[in-house]
Amino acid sequence: MILTVDIGNTATTMGLYTPEGTLRFRGALKTDKNKTQDQLAIDLLDMFHLYQADIGEVTGGVISSVVPPMTHAMAGAIRQLSGVRPMIVGPGVKTGMNILAEVHNQLGADIVASSVAALQKYPQPIIVIDMGTATTLSYLGNNTYEGCVIIPGVRIAVEALSGRAAELPHISIEEPPSVFGRSTIDAMRSGVLYGNAGMIDSMIQRMEEAAQPAATVVMTGGNAALIQKYCRREIHIDENLLLDGLYYLYQKNQDRRRRRGD
């Protein structure tokens, strides 16, 4: 079994794959950069127990992380429980794609993993949209990562608006009765959902004008389902895109890891 772990700013998501690439389970924990290796080991054991899986069956692991303080603690927890040293996505990892970036290690491991999965699963050119703590749009064509756009995420924007405007309340993100908000809360909800959907539609159009029309637009991330239904562009939701990408990266790098003795 292959354990895939993505440590994001808000949530840490993990998936257990069979050697053939079938997802056995998917689970998520709140990201807490202050947790020790032992605390993370307890979290891992609880997750495996919840989904009736045996961590002793793990034969390989891979981690992507945008929270450096947690990276090595999580890797240590996995090794402590399974005896496996997980691969950490970063410089030197074989991706199978050409990355057009001034500094390769500035490209987030989560973006790399999602892009690798998209190239494996969908026709090119591809626009990959990740609706997480930040919203990112990446353009892929001819097995090349052309670049991306980074925008404040949906919940960050809402929290900033409520926090900086004294008369605007903190709200849950729910469907408004109409695009026309007739209360402060409904107006904010309309702005969040329709506004982000309009932004996504516009950015897709601008990226296509700068390159060529995309054959596939795929969206992933915790806020994907909130926004996709309001977009006018046809967008496919793939909630396991990032975890699938980690599995593919693990498979692509196995020969190299065996030669190094990892």
Task: Give the count of alpha carbons within 13 A of 209, CB side only.
Answer: 6
* 70 and 36 Cβ atoms separated by less than 8 Å: no
Question: In terms of CATH, what superfamily is 98-239?
Answer: ATPase, nucleotide binding domain (3.30.420.40)
Question: What is the C-alpha separation between 130 and 224, in angstroms, rounded?
Answer: 7
> Of 58-67, 91-100, 207-216, where does mean pLDDT reach its minimum?
91-100
CA distances from 241 to 39, 106, 110 (A): 27, 21, 10
Catalytic residues: 110
For helices 37-50 and 68-82, give the axis angle rounded to 10 degrees.
Answer: 60
Q: Which CATH number fits domain 2-88: 3.40.190.80, 3.30.565.10, 3.30.420.40, 1.10.150.120?
A: 3.30.420.40
Residue 229 has φ and ψ, to the nearest 5°, of -65, -20
* 154 and 223 Cβ atoms separated by less than 8 Å: yes
Question: What is the C-alpha separation between 171 and 120, in angstroms, rounded?
Answer: 38
* 235 and 217 Cβ atoms separated by less than 8 Å: yes
pLDDT tens-digit map of 133-179: 889 999 999 999 988 899 888 777 777 766 656 556 576 677 777 78
Helix (H, G, I), strand (E, B) or coil at 73: helix
- Going from N- to C-terminal start, the domains of the chain cover 2-88, 98-239
Tell me whether the CATH fold assigned to 2-88 matches the one assigned to 98-239: yes
pTM: 0.86
pLDDT tens-digit map of 226-242: 889 899 999 999 999 99
Kind and range of the H or E element at 91? none
Cβ neighbour number for residue 113 with a 10 Å cutoff: 26
pLDDT tens-digit map of 239-253: 999 999 999 999 989
